[in-house]
Structures are given as structure tokens and as C-alpha cells.
């Protein structure tokens, strides 16, 4: 029992598994409270079975707490991966991961308890306490990522550097600091709740000509937090691919500058709203360029590695394409970033360009659908990239790897594509004639999401059953990624950093 | 073959679930017993406005229609207004004059200049009126359904023609909510047989399928229709359809925005859109099969 506990809470792979499992559980239960599940009557069953209390006036507050609990777990997964991939003092991963684990689980359990099962204010206090721990873990992470420590100076010129400073590490550091500041941006505003600040969903205020500074701050907070989660993930995926070379040297300065500019742009939305969007656009372009270079590098690397495995010197186009697609987990993690441009960035830019001409002619509730679909897709894409990476970490091989990878990619892309068409349906059909299109897009979205959730459920059940084995995969993973005890012999060793090793 | 059998079966099961909208004749004319010509009196006084229950005072008594304006009422108005020259027909549809709004040049604000604006289109399949070249009439079965596909200009013109006005948002909300902090006009819970909303499986949804159709005004009044038992959805002041069926235009012109606000939610929305404080808005020239209106007037008019 203790060995399994150690695996789940004291190894990177175990911690990631716990967080994914908890998110899957929350998604499975709370996903029944909206959309087609309401139409099919499943919500009523869930509410009755679990004794949920859903007062209509508290819907927005409940949703905000639900988003926060899931976001905390996603942030925790990224922190686990960063402490695993980025060199730091050996005792630091254990402290950071322990703090954030206690924090996100507290905020998840007590946040959901407060929001859905009665308003005991002890629950609310513990929800905030959990979030505070997550913030504190972020502070520790920023300290651990400090790029100017001599031990972390770059020694391999293939990686982006400025002098001896590792620019990739700097990008992680900047992202962490920007995230901490942006969390405060929301937290300070939240502290005015009941004292001049009222609960709202950003999509409900889109057309208000006069927004209060507190409303602007919250709108900025939610946008920048999701952006920074995406930035962190792009950096993590770069590490997975051992991103290096000329494109790496272009990407990292762009990522650093983009992160700084977009963060300052969002923070400036309160005092300088008319200019903030221009600053944000500049930062977005830099980050998107950095991610584009990562995708180009990654695709090339996948092809190169596969062709080398096959011993092919001069590959045809089809051999190259076959090599690119042979591993859906690695291909998918980058492809989803490309697909995001069709379903999120592209749609967002189109909306911005045609806002007054098209979208602001529609009723606000139609525009609201486009906005909520937009960021649900972005969150979903982030989730699928994490899943694909985790599946690789979990050692999926052979046909299972193929099935899992392709079902996640195809299922999610069908769903996200269908939702994008649904969001934009007024471009193609009038309200009076929309029903067939609505039926088809909703059916495809449900089908795609069902595929993804089914393979996720299978993966989770497999990992659960594995825990009951005496010599299961969990034991191998524990040995691979166990965190050193603070003060142990292992903790005194130098980090197994690529910089130091090379 | 075996490999694709299960996915193929799954696909067939899912896709057969999305049947095309049922095509049938006109719906039966359902008499609800609620008179669309009736008005309710709302007394002056305080009420709790919005989701966060802000104490708000309305300083005067006013009256508001018990139901949405129906197709039959609007057809009658069109015939009268056409005869008097208050509106006219163009290739676009019925149009009429509007004096224009003050333009302040806010971001995203569109000018609403003085001129003729569309009241209703005549070529939209969602319109429940017929036009034989001389007279407008409500389509059979739709006489007592709410008038839809009417722009804000068309709604305002109807009310003004009879010396009334569109209700302000505050007037609308007080009429829907009364003086306590209920979420829906009848209380805090909503049932599928209490209002017409997306997938509420009402009688008319079964007839036309999918997104459904409007229900007759005052349909949800506790009566049983052909075995379909409704719950009473009246507001504390006896108004019907203040939640669901069709969004209702309100009369406010907001400084710095050309949008006009709507309340009540519609047959095409999930139930949370039916809460009394939920707002929707669109340009005043927007029309939709999910948007209608009702009028208000000063007490004693």
C-alpha cells in the first residue's frame, strides 16, 4: 500500500496520473450537468444521486469554481513535467510537487464541495487555502528556475543562449513569473467580491460599453492564464522533442519576448484598454511564431528519426509522410498545435476582423456561443496534447499506442471542427433553416468527444488495474521517476541536466 | 471486417439519432384561455433587480401586456397601419420611419440615423403571416402564437401605433419577477412542462421536430392539452411567457451602444437563459424566429 502511495504521490509519472485521473473523474461527473446530457435527462440523475444543490442564481459562481479546480490540476501537471524536465536542485522537485499537490487537491475537493454541495464557508476557506498553496508552489518553481545560477549556464551551443544564459530555461522562468503575476491579477480582484465586485462570466459582458476596472481585470486574468498554460505546454513539448538548433535559437527569444509583451498587454487592459489589444496582438504573433518553429522542428525530427530507423537515405514524399504519421503520440502533440490555428486562432482573427460587420449583427447570445466554443476548444486542445504526452510517458507501445493516439487526434479534431462549424453556423444558414446543420454538428461533436473520453477511460482503467498488480507497470515508473527525499544522498547529487552532462 | 464492425455500428447508432426535422402541416390551433388583449397592472415600489438582487425602485404604476403580441394581433396592426400610411412595403419587406439615435462614437457603436428601417421581412420561411397582395393574415394554427421575425423598429412601431411603448428593461424585469428574488417568474425551479425552451419536449416540438416551434401565448398555464399536462408559468402579476418561447425586445436606448436589449429567453435556448435577469441584445434591425415582444403603457392609459 505504501509503495503504491509513494508511486502515486512521490514520482512524476504517478503524480501526473493522479491529476489526470482526478480531472477525468470531475469531467465525467460534471460533464453530465450541461449540453446534451441535460436534454437526455442525465443531469437530473446526477443531481439526485449526488445530492447536488444547484440554485439558478449561483450558476455562474459554480462554473467559475469548477473552472478553477480543473485549471489548478492542469497547472499541477505542467509543474510536475517542468520539475521533471528542467534541471534544478535535487530537493526542489519534491518540495514544489508536494506543495502543489496538496494545493490543487484541496482546492478541487473543497471548491467543488462549496460550489455544488452546500455553502459551508470552511469549504470556501480551504478552497482558497489550496489555491494559495498552488501559488506558493509557483513561487518556489520560479526560484528553482532562476536562470542565472552558474550550474545552469549553457554548455552546449546547439541550444538557444544569450552569453551563457540558457534561453529555454529563461522562457520557463518568465512564464512562471508571468503566471504568478497574472494569478494575483485575478486574486486581488476576487478579494473585492461582495465589496464592489460581483460574480460574472466574461462572455456575458461582451457588448457592455462600460465595464468596471474589476470586470476588465477578471477578463484579462482568465485570458492570460489560459495563454500562459499554453505557453508552458509548448515549452514542455519542446523539451520532449529535445528542441535545439537554429529554430530553437529563433523560438526562445520570441517566446520570452512574446510572453512578456502579451502579459504586460493583458495587465494594461485596466488602465489602457484602448491600446491593450494592440500590445496583446504583438505578443500573440511572437508566441505563435515560436510555436510554429517548434512544430517545423518537431515534424522534421519525427521524419528524420523514423527514416533513420528504417535505414532510408533518400525518402520519397510518401515515405516522408508515412514517417511523419507513424507515431500518433509525437505527431499528434504538434499537429494539435497546428489544428488550433484552424479552430481557435483562425476563427478568433476572423471574428476580430469581421466583428462589427458580421458578428455584432448577430444577437449577443450567438456571439457568446462562438466565444465559449472558442475557449473550450483551446482548453480541449491543451488537454489532448497533455494526454498524448502522458500516453508516451506511460509507455504505450505497438497497436495500443496507434489506436490511442489516432482516436484522440481524430476524435478531438472531429469534435472541435464540428463545434467550430456550429459556432459559425450563422454564416451559412439562417435561424429558420439551421436545424439539420445543428443536428449534424452536434452529433459529430458528441461522437468525437465520446471517442476521446472512451479511450481516456480505458487508459485510466488500465492504470487502475495495474495498481493492483504486485509487479505492475507502476513499479517500473516509480523507479524511473521517483523524487529524491530532501536531505537524502540522492538529493546532494548534481541534477542530471543535459547542460551539465554535456 | 471485424475490425470495423463495432465502430461502424456505433456510428450508425449515433447518426440515426439525428433525424431530420419532421415536416408536417400546420399545427393545430390550441386555445389556451388566456386573452392576448389583456393587460396587467404593476404597482409602483421597490423590487430586487438582477442576479445580485439590487434594490431598485420603480416610481410609478404601469401596465404591461399579459402575453406577447400574437401573429393575429400583428397582422391586424399591419393592415391598419398600411391603410393609414404609417408603414409601407418594399422589396425587403415592411418598413417604417424611425427618428434616429444620438451617435456618440463609442467603440463598436453603429450609427442609427433617421430614416426608414425594416420592420419584418416577407421572404423568411419562419414568418407566420401570409400576404395576398392586399391583406396580412396569420397562418392557420399560428394565430395565437407570438409574433416573430420582427425587428426592434417593428416592435416599437406596433406599440406606438396604439399609443403604447416597449417596456424598459426595469419594467420588464419587475413584471417578470415581482418583489422577491426568484430566478424564474414562478419560482426557483423549472420543469420541462412549465416553459418553452430548448429540448423542453413540448407538444409543438414533437410536431415540428428539432429546435421546435413557438407555443401559443399563455400555453403554460396549468391546463392539459391532449394529455399534455402543463404547469402554471405565470409571473407574480399574472404575465405569461416571461420565460421562454421568444425573446422580447425592450425599449431602452443605451448610451454608447446601438444594441437593443431582449429578455426572457426563447425556445432555442437552454433553461439558464430563461432566468429573469438574463439579457440578450442585437442591433435594432435584427430579426429572428426566436424574437418577439410585448408592449407596456402608463397606468390608466
Cβ-defined contact of A209 to B110 (cutoff 8 Å): no
Mean pLDDT rounded to a whole number for chain B? 90
In a domain, A391, yes or no: yes
Exposure of B290 in the CB half-sphere (CA atoms within 13 A): 31
Cβ-defined contact of B275 to A56 (cutoff 8 Å): yes
Among A60, A364, A443, beta carbon nearest to B15: A443
Q: How much is the average pLDDT of B6-16?
A: 53
In a domain, A346, yes or no: yes
pLDDT score, position A426: 85
Query: Residue A366: phi, psi to the nearest 5?
Result: -75, -45
Confidence of residue A485 (pLDDT cuts 50, 70, 90): low
Encode A370-437 in three state secondary structure: HHHHHHHHHHHHHHHHHHHHHHHHCCCCHHHHHHHHHHHHHHHHHHHHHHHHHHCHHHCCCHHHCHHH
Cβ-defined contact of B183 to A430 (cutoff 8 Å): no
pLDDT score, position B10: 54
Q: Is the pLDDT of residue B55 over 90?
A: yes
Delimit the domains of chain B by residue range.
37-298
Name chain A contacts of B289, Cβ cutoff 8 Å: 431-432
Residue of chain A with shortest Cα separation from B188: A56
User: Cα distance from B79 to chain A (closest Cα, Å)?
Assistant: 25
Cβ contact A118:A84 at 8 Å: no
Residue A371 and residue A447 in one domain: yes
Nearest to A67 by CA among A18, A32, A101, A26: A26
Give, as one character, the DSSP assignment of residue B232. Answer: B
Cβ-defined contact of B126 to A431 (cutoff 8 Å): yes
CA distance B96 to B119: 7
Give, as one character, the DSSP assignment of residue A32. Answer: G
Residue of chain B with shortest Cα separation from A356: B108
Count of domains for chain A? 2
Cβ-defined contact of A431 to B256 (cutoff 8 Å): no
Residue of chain B with shortest Cα separation from A59: B272
Which H/E stretch holds residue A480?
Answer: helix A473-481
Confidence of residue B33 (pLDDT cuts 50, 70, 90): very high
Name chain B contacts of A431, Cβ cutoff 8 Å: 126, 268, 288-290
The predicted-structure confidence for A8-36, as pLDDT tens digits, reads as follows 998 999 999 999 999 999 999 999 998 88
Name chain A contacts of B288, Cβ cutoff 8 Å: 363, 431
Residue of chain B with shortest Cα separation from A436: B20
User: Cα distance from A443 to chain B (closest Cα, Å)?
Assistant: 7
Give, as one character, the DSSP assignment of residue B22. Answer: P
The predicted-structure confidence for A368-408, as pLDDT tens digits, reads as follows 988 899 889 999 999 999 999 999 999 999 999 999 999 99
Name chain B contacts of A442, Cβ cutoff 8 Å: 18
Residue A276 and residue A354 in one domain: no
In a domain, A453, yes or no: yes
CATH number at residue A283: 1.20.120
Cβ neighbours of residue A81 under 8 Å, at least 6 residues apart?
A: A12, A16, A236, A389
Among B108, B124, B272, beta carbon nearest to A430: B124
pLDDT score, position B51: 94
Cβ-defined contact of B183 to A55 (cutoff 8 Å): yes
User: Cα distance from B181 to chain A (closest Cα, Å)?
Assistant: 9
Q: Is the pLDDT of residue A44 over 80?
A: yes
A and B: number of Cβ contacts within 8 A: 103
Query: Residue A361: phi, psi to the nearest 5?
Result: -85, -30
Query: Residue B105: phi, psi to the nearest 5?
Result: 75, 25
CA distance A294 to A168: 12
Complex ipTM, two decimals?
Answer: 0.86
Q: Is the pLDDT of residue A232 over 80?
A: yes
pLDDT score, position A331: 97
Lookup: cell for B292: 418577439
Residue A264 and residue A399 in one domain: no
> What 3-state DSSP class applies to A76?
helix
Looking at per-residue pLDDT, the higher value among A342 and A135 belongs to A135
Lookup: cell for A31: 460533464
Residue A375 and residue A310 in one domain: no
The predicted-structure confidence for A433-446, as pLDDT tens digits, reads as follows 888 888 899 899 99
Query: Residue A112: phi, psi to the nearest 5?
Result: -70, -35
The predicted-structure confidence for A289-345, as pLDDT tens digits, reads as follows 999 999 999 999 999 999 999 999 889 999 999 999 999 999 999 999 999 988 888
Q: How much is the average pLDDT of B16-32?
A: 63
Q: Is the pLDDT of residue B17 over 50?
A: no
Among B14, B188, B271, beta carbon nearest to A447: B14
Last residue of a domain, one of A315, A349, A383: A315
pLDDT score, position B202: 82
Cβ-defined contact of A446 to B14 (cutoff 8 Å): yes
Q: How much is the average pLDDT of A124-140?
A: 96
Name chain B contacts of A364, Cβ cutoff 8 Å: 259, 279-282
Mutate to test the interface with A, among B17, B180, B213, B248 (most CBs of A within 10 A): B17
Confidence of residue A432 (pLDDT cuts 50, 70, 90): confident
pLDDT score, position B24: 53
Q: How much is the average pLDDT of A180-197?
A: 89
Residue A295 and residue A390 in one domain: no
Q: Is the pLDDT of residue A497 over 70?
A: no
Residue A418 and residue A271 in one domain: no
Residue of chain B with shortest Cα separation from A198: B52
Q: How much is the average pLDDT of B287-294?
A: 96
Last residue of a domain, one of A315, A339, A355: A315
Name chain B contacts of A450, Cβ cutoff 8 Å: 14
Residue of chain A with shortest Cα separation from B190: A56
pLDDT score, position B5: 58
Q: Is A363 in the B-facing interface, judged by CB distances under 8 Å?
A: yes
In a domain, A83, yes or no: no
Bridge-based pairing state of the strands A165-166 and A161-162: antiparallel
Q: Is A432 in the B-facing interface, judged by CB distances under 8 Å?
A: yes
Residue A418 and residue A458 in one domain: yes
Bridge-based pairing state of the strands B62-65 and B88-89: unpaired
Residue A310 and residue A345 in one domain: no
How many Å from the N-terminal Cα to the C-terminal Cα in chain A? 39
User: Cα distance from B188 to chain A (closest Cα, Å)?
Assistant: 7
Q: Is A454 in the B-facing interface, judged by CB distances under 8 Å?
A: no
pLDDT score, position A496: 44
Instruction: Please state, as a whole number, how many other Cβ atoms lie within 10 Å of the Cβ of residue B233.
Output: 27
In a domain, A474, yes or no: no
Q: Is the pLDDT of residue A185 over 60?
A: yes
Cβ contact A129:A106 at 8 Å: yes
Q: Helix, strand, coil: what percent of chain A each, to 5? A: 80, 0, 20
Domain that holds residue A226: 151-193+212-315
Cβ-defined contact of A438 to B211 (cutoff 8 Å): yes
For A34, A230, A472, B236, the CA distances from A153, given in Å and listed in that order, are: 50, 26, 39, 72
In a domain, A337, yes or no: yes
Residue A307 and residue A368 in one domain: no
User: Cα distance from A53 to chain B (closest Cα, Å)?
Assistant: 12
Assigned CATH for B37-298: 3.90.1580.10
Residue A344 and residue A297 in one domain: no
Residue A346 and residue A276 in one domain: no
pLDDT score, position A272: 87
User: Cα distance from B278 to chain A (closest Cα, Å)?
Assistant: 9
Mutate to test the interface with B, among A196, A355, A365 (most CBs of B within 10 A): A365
Question: pLDDT over 90 for what percent of chain B?
Answer: 77
Residue A291 and residue A417 in one domain: no
Amino acid at each position: 500500500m505504501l509503495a503504491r502511495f509513494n508511486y502515486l504521490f512521490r514520482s512524476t509519472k504517478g503524480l501526473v496520473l493522479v491529476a489526470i485521473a482526478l480531472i477525468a473523474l470531475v469531467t465525467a461527473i460534471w460533464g453530465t450537468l450541461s449540453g446534451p446530457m441535460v436534454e437526455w435527462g442525465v443531469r437530473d440523475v446526477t443531481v439526485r444521486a449526488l445530492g447536488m444543490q444547484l440554485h439558478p442564481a449561483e450558476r455562474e459562481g459554480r462554473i467559475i469554481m469548477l473552472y478553477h479546480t480543473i485549471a489548478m490540476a492542469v497547472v499541477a501537471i505542467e509543474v510536475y513535467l517542468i520539475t521533471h524536465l528542467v534541471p534544478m536542485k535535487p530537493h526542489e522537485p519534491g518540495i514544489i510537487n508536494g506543495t502543489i499537490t496538496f494545493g490543487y487537491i484541496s482546492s478541487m475537493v473543497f471548491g467543488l464541495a462549496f460550489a455544488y454541495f452546500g455553502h459551508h464557508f470552511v469549504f470556501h476557506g480551504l478552497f482558497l487555502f489550496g489555491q494559495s498553496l498552488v501559488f506558493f508552489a509557483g513561487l518556489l518553481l520560479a526560484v528553482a528556475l532562476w536562470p542565472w545560477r552558474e550550474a545552469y549556464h549553457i554548455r552546449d551551443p546547439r541550444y538557444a543562449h544569450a552569453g551563457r544564459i540558457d534561453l529555454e530555461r529563461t522562457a520557463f522562468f518568465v512564464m512562471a513569473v508571468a503566471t504568478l503575476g497574472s494569478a494575483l491579477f485575478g486574486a486581488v480582484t476576487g478579494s473585492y467580491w461582495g465589496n464592489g465586485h460581483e460574480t460574472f462570466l466574461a462572455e456575458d459582458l461582451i457588448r457592455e460599453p462600460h465595464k468596471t476596472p474589476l470586470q476588465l481585470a477578471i477578463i484579462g486574468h482568465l485570458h492570460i492564464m489560459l495563454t500562459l498554460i499554453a505557453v508552458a505546454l509548448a515549452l514542455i513539448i519542446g523539451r520532449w522533442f529535445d528542441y535545439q538548433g537554429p529554430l530553437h535559437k529563433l523560438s526562445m527569444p520570441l517566446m520570452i519576448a512574446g510572453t512578456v509583451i502579451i502579459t504586460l498587454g493583458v495587465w494594461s487592459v485596466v488602465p489602457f484598454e484602448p491600446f491593450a489589444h494592440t500590445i496583446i496582438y504583438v505578443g500573440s504573433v511572437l508566441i505563435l511564431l515560436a510555436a510554429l518553429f517548434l512544430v517545423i522542428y518537431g515534424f522534421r525530427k519525427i521524419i528524420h528519426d523514423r527514416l533513420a530507423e528504417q535505414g532510408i537515405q533518400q525518402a520519397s514524399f510518401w515515405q516522408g509522410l508515412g514517417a511523419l504519421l507513424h507515431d500518433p503520440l509525437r505527431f499528434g502533440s504538434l499537429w494539435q498545435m497546428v489544428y488550433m490555428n484552424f479552430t481557435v486562432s483562425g476563427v478568433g482573427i476572423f471574428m476580430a476582423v469581421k466583428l462589427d460587420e458580421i458578428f455584432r449583427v448577430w444577437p449577443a447570445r450567438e456571439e457568446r456561443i462562438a466565444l465559449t466554443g472558442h475557449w473550450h476548444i483551446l482548453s480541449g486542445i491543451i488537454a489532448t496534447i497533455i494526454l498524448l504526452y502522458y500516453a508516451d510517458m506511460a509507455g504505450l507501445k505497438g497497436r495500443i499506442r496507434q489506436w490511442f493516439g489516432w482516436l484522440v487526434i481524430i476524435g478531438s479534431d472531429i469534435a472541435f471542427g464540428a463545434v467550430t462549424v456550429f459556432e459559425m453556423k450563422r454564416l451559412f444558414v439562417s435561424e429558420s433553416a439551421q436545424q439539420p446543420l445543428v443536428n449534424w454538428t452536434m452529433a459529430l461533436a458528441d461522437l468525437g468527444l465520446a471517442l476521446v473520453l472512451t479511450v481516456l477511460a480505458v487508459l485510466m482503467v488500465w492504470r487502475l488495474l495495474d495498481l493492483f498488480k504486485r509487479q505492475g507497470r507502476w513499479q517500473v515508473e516509480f523507479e524511473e521517476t521517483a523524487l529524491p527525499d530532501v536531505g537524502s544522498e540522492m538529493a546532494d547529487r548534481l541534477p542530471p541536466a543535459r547542460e551539465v552532462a554535456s | 471486417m471485424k475490425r470495423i464492425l463495432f465502430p461502424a455500428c456505433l456510428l450508425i447508432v449515433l447518426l440515426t439519432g439525428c433525424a431530420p426535422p419532421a415536416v408536417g402541416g400546420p399545427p393545430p390551433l390550441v386555445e389556451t384561455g388566456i386573452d392576448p388583449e389583456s393587460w396587467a397592472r404593476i404597482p409602483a415600489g421597490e423590487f430586487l433587480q438582477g442576479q445580485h438582487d439590487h434594490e431598485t425602485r420603480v416610481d410609478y404604476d404601469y401596465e404591461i401586456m399579459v402575453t406577447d403580441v400574437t401573429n393575429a394581433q400583428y397582422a391586424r396592426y399591419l393592415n391598419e397601419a398600411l391603410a393609414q400610411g404609417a408603414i409601407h412595403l418594399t422589396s425587403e419587406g415592411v418598413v417604417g420611419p424611425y427618428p434616429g439615435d444620438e451617435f456618440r462614437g463609442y467603440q463598436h457603436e453603429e450609427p442609427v440615423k433617421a430614416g426608414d428601417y425594416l420592420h419584418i421581412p416577407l421572404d423568411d420561411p419562419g414568418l407566420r403571416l401570409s400576404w395576398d397582395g392586399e391583406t396580412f393574415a396569420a397562418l392557420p394554427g399560428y394565430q395565437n402564437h407570438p409574433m416573430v421575425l420582427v425587428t426592434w423598429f417593428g416592435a416599437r412601431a406596433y406599440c406606438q401605433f396604439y399609443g403604447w411603448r416597449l417596456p424598459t428593461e426595469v419594467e420588464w424585469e419587475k413584471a417578470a419577477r415581482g418583489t422577491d428574488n426568484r430566478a424564474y417568474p414562478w419560482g426557483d425551479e423549472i420543469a420541462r412542462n412549465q416553459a418553452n425552451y430548448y429540448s423542453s419536449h413540448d407538444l409543438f416540438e414533437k410536431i415540428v421536430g428539432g429546435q421546435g416551434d413557438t407555443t401559443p401565448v399563455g400555453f403554460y398555464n396549468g391546463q392539459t392539452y391532449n394529455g399534455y399536462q402543463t404547469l402554471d408559468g405565470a409571473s407574480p402579476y399574472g404575465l405569461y411567457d416571461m420565460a421562454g418561447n421568444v425573446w422580447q425586445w425592450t425599449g431602452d436606448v443605451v448610451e454608447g451602444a446601438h444594441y437593443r436589449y431582449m429578455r426572457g429567453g426563447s425556445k432555442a435556448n437552454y433553461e439558464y437563459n430563461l432566468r429573469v435577469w438574463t439579457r440578450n441584445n442585437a442591433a435594432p434591425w435584427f430579426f429572428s424566429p426566436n424574437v418577439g415582444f410585448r408592449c407596456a403603457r402608463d397606468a390608466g392609459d
